[in-house]
Structure 1
């Protein structure tokens, strides 16, 4: 059975939309997914199920989450292979980052238009570097993610697509868990 990674946007942030990971595992298992596991409290769920289109998985997950939690949770789903591809497409050499520099990855719900990408790439920052590859954006933050111009909200507004961001350590841990 294929492995999928569901990234839930906006749960357990600033005390809002609190969801315990055990509850999240129960919800995903109730859909019929197998080998359900979570990583940290920010809504990362790795699971297995029969091959399905990601759009169908998203619909099932979002519907079940709304019913169980009584609030909407936007979800982005990636296959384990897409996750691996995103890691391989990283244009930044993580080993060359200084101690206070951190890499973040924004996973996009869909591929943005060429015009939107060009508009985003025209934004300049004195402290951060940014690249986009297909449905993934890579941000090197030199003063911390809270101070970056390229926040998740900024990326969504500029690209006009839903996104959710994870730090590189989480990306790598999720990759390990999805093997």
Structure 2
């Protein structure tokens, strides 16, 4: 990926890890203030789970992630993690229809786990036996740096174990969104 800046404005989504909307420092208006203070344009938030959209001419995504995370930590005490995807990356991801005909619902969650660009690719370890009946890993998209999974919520209690498995696989620099949230973020971009 190129470094530096270009003349063209690029629309990005910052997917923040560890956001708890009940914490006043983690609410949309405070998050937007940090992004605006960093000089980004057309800053907006999507839902309350740490999805910020913004415009920038910068093209060095790892540097952007680092700069944003430093500001979030120093200004708001948020140390969770920042992952960035461009509008074009999210558009390609959504257009690829990784979930096929499956639908997101109360009993069956369609999830996308975003990983850092230097993370390993497809999961290299199988799901633990206790998760196999309730989690289906559909695959890994290298361009989006994302793992797709379907979680059967009707059996309960699988999400924390699934997240722990993902962290063992990719480290803590990951964040998961439902497929519906990914689509809403893209629509806001």
TM-score, length-scaled by structure 1: 0.84
Q: Which residue of 1 is the match for residue 11 of structure 2?
A: 3
Counterpart contact for 2:43–2:52, Cα < 8 Å = yes
Q: Which residue of 2 is the match for residue 106 of structure 1?
A: 113
Q: Distance in 2 between matches of 1:79 and 1:157?
A: 26
Q: What's the C-alpha RMSD, in Å, of the aligned pairs?
A: 2.6
Deviates more, 1:142-151 or 1:58-67: 142-151
Number of equivalences: 175
Identify unmatched segments of 5+ residues in structure 1: none
Give the drift of 1:167: 0.6
Give the drift of 1:117: 2.1
Q: Which residue of 2 is the match for residue 118 of structure 1?
A: 124
Which has the larger share of helix?
A: 1
SS of aligned partner of 1:2? strand
Q: Which residue of 2 is the match for residue 162 of structure 1?
A: 173
Q: 1:151 to 1:122 in 2, by over 3 A?
A: closer
Q: Please say if 1:172 is aligned against 2:183.
A: yes
Q: 1:87 to 1:121 in 2, by over 3 A?
A: farther
Deviates more, 1:53-62 or 1:127-136: 127-136
Q: Which residue of 2 is the match for residue 133 of structure 1?
A: 141
Q: Which residue of 1 is the match for residue 163 of structure 2?
A: 152
Q: In the TM superposition, what whole-angstrom CA distance separates every residue of 1:88-113 from its partner, at most 9, and x where no partner exists?
A: 344322x3447532201101112543
- Match 1:91 to one of 98, 115, 134: 98
Q: 1:120 to 1:36 in 2, by over 3 A?
A: farther
Give the drift of 1:71: 4.0
Trace 1:52-67 onto structure 2 (pairs within 5 A).
Answer: 52-67=59-74
Give the drift of 1:142: 1.6
Which has the larger share of strand?
A: 2
Counterpart contact for 2:124–2:169, Cα < 8 Å = no
TM-score, length-scaled by structure 2: 0.80
Deviates more, 1:151-160 or 1:50-59: 151-160
Q: 1:117 to 1:18 in 2, by over 3 A?
A: same
